[in-house]
Amino acid sequence: MGTFYLGTPNPAWLRRIDIPLCVSRRRLARYVTLPRACGPWILDSGGFTELSRHGRWTITADEYAAFVLRCAEEVGHLQWAAPMDFMCEPAILAETGHSVAAHQGFTVGNFLWLREQLGELVIPVLQGYGPRDYERCFDLYARAGIDLTAEPVVGIGSVCRRSGTLEANRLIRYVSDFGVQLHAFGIKGATWRACRGLLASADSQAWSMRARRSGVPSFSMPFALEWRDRLLACAA
Q: Where are the domains of the chain?
A: 3-235
Using DSSP bridges, classify how beta strands 201-204 and 3-7 pair: parallel, antiparallel or unpaired.
parallel
Supply the pLDDT for residue 215. Answer: 86
pLDDT at 172: 94
Q: In what order do the strands lie in the sheet with 154-156?
A: 78-81, 41-44, 21-24, 3-7, 201-204, 182-184, 154-156, 125-126
Across the range 126-141, mean pLDDT stands at 97
Q: Which pTM does this prediction carry?
A: 0.95
Position 88 scores a pLDDT of 95
Alpha-carbon separation of residue 218 from 58, 160, 161 (angstroms): 27, 19, 19
What's the CA gap between 164 and 153, in Å, rounded?
A: 22
Instruction: Give the length of the chain.
Output: 236
Q: Is the pLDDT of residue 236 over 70?
A: no
Check pLDDT > 70 for residue 6: yes
Mean pLDDT on 9-22:
97
With contact defined as beta carbons under 8 Å apart, do 149 and 209 qualify?
Answer: no
CB 203 within 8 A of CB 7: yes
Q: Please tell me the predicted confidence (pLDDT) of residue 218.
A: 77
Amino acid at 179: G
Residue 108 has pLDDT above 70, yes or no: yes
pLDDT on residue 164: 65
By mean pLDDT, which of 5-14, 168-177, 184-193 is the weakest? 184-193
Angle in degrees, CA 39, 45, 50, rounded to 5: 145
pLDDT score of 214 more than 90:
no
Average pLDDT in the 208-231 region? 90
Structural contact between residues 180 and 201, judged by C-beta atoms closer than 8 angstroms: no
CATH superfamily assigned to domain 3-235: Queuine tRNA-ribosyltransferase-like (3.20.20.105)
Question: Looking at the predicted structure, is the pLDDT value of residue 180 above 80?
Answer: yes
Across residues 115-142, what is the average pLDDT?
Answer: 97
Work out the mean pLDDT of the chain and round it to a whole number. 94
Please give the pLDDT value at position 188.
87
Number of C-beta neighbours around residue 75 at 10 A: 20
For the cut 90, the answer to whether the pLDDT of residue 210 exceeds it is no
Residue 1, pLDDT score: 64
